[in-house]
Amino acid sequence: MRILLVNPNTNAAMTGAMAASARAVASPGTEIVPLTPRFGADAIDCNFESYLSAVAVMDAVSTVDTGFDAVVMAGFGEHGREGMQELVDVPVLDIAECAAHVAQLLGRTYSVVTTLRRSVGAIEDRLLLAGQRARCASVRATGLGTAELDADPDAAVAAVVEQARLAVEVDGAEVICLGCGGLAGLDEAIGARLGVPVVDGVTAAVRLAEAVVGLGLRTSKVCSYAPPPGNALTGWPLSHLGGAR
């Protein structure tokens, strides 16, 4: 089985860190194929960067030459999953939705701890669209941008633990979801300090992808996620243009 793991930002080091976390939980025989977009932002902390990343990720996947059995989109609450489901025939999993699914198997309520305050609304909207908002006790922000979390893992752990503790003690959360792909691999360290389950969306998505593929299931193409209707596209894929690096 080959799983395409797509980082929505252009930070290759972050792509590598997420791939390492994915490989740590992947089953024997599962190959994790990391992919970094050719254009976009090196960290995603606002709507503009998120929408840009949606185009960049769809562009990157559409230019992959080798076959794969599933796509894991490793942005927490980023746009583009529905478009990706139209472009490919294999299952497409989003780490925000996967983290929430797993969290709800482990406790009655869950909270998400993410980056900046301005990211809270986008995550709440994503969970609402996915039908997973009802059991979300809160979405809390550390105040650290994506790049800051990636640059200093110790500071990231401390900031997440502080907000996660409030989520448990004040908001009533029973499970914590790490609300940024850049936090991949820190779930055990954070969980050890809190005493509650902590879900890393990257690893959750990889294992769920294996389950869906193993069941022989694919995305329904009967209506919502049918292939694009074939309208004329100008300059697509964008990576074929001279401006893409």
Tell me the per-residue pLDDT of 194-215, one tens digit each, with 9 for 90 and over: 999 999 999 999 999 999 999 9
CA 145/CA 168 separation, integer angstroms: 23
Mean pLDDT of all residues in 66-73 = 95
Say whether 101 sits in a helix, a strand or coil. Answer: helix
How many other β-carbons are positioned within 10 Å of the β-carbon of residue 232?
A: 5
Q: How confident is the prediction for the chain on average, in pLDDT?
A: 94
* More confident call, 151 vs 86: 86
* Percent of the chain residues past pLDDT 70, beyond the cut: 98
Distance in angstroms (rounded) separating the CA atoms of residues 240 and 245: 10
For residue 225, the model assigns a pLDDT of 97
pLDDT value, residue 152: 85
With bands split at pLDDT 50, 70 and 90, how would you rate the model's confidence at 219? Answer: very high
Walk me through the domains of the chain, giving residue ranges and CATH numbers.
2-94+204-240 (3.40.50.12500), 96-201 (3.40.50.12500)
Among 94, 11, 92, 93, residue whose Cα is nearest residue 49: 11
The stretch 213-240 carries a mean pLDDT of 92
**Cis ω for the linkage preceding 34 (within 30 of 0):** no
CA angle, corner 60, sides to 83 and 147, nearest 5?
A: 95
The predicted model gives 173-183 an average pLDDT of 94
Residue 143 has pLDDT above 80, yes or no: yes
In the prediction, which pLDDT does 65 show? 82
Query: Cβ neighbours of residue 8 under 8 Å, at least 6 residues apart?
Result: 37, 40, 44, 50, 53, 54, 56, 57, 73, 74, 75, 78, 80, 181
Residue 149 is predicted with a pLDDT of 81
pLDDT of residue 166 exceeding 80, the answer is yes
Helix (H, G, I), strand (E, B) or coil at 141: strand
Distance, first Cα to last Cα, the chain: 30
**What pLDDT does residue 129 have?**
93
d(CA 81, CA 186): 25
3-class SS letters over 3-57: EEEECCCCCHHHHHHHHHHHHHHCCCCCEEEEECCCCCCCCCCCHHHHHHHHHHH
| Mean pLDDT value across residues 73-91 | 95
The pLDDT of residue 240 is 63
242 φ/ψ angles, rounded to the nearest 5 degrees: -65, -20
Mean predicted confidence (pLDDT) in 213-230: 96
Q: What is the pLDDT of residue 244?
A: 43
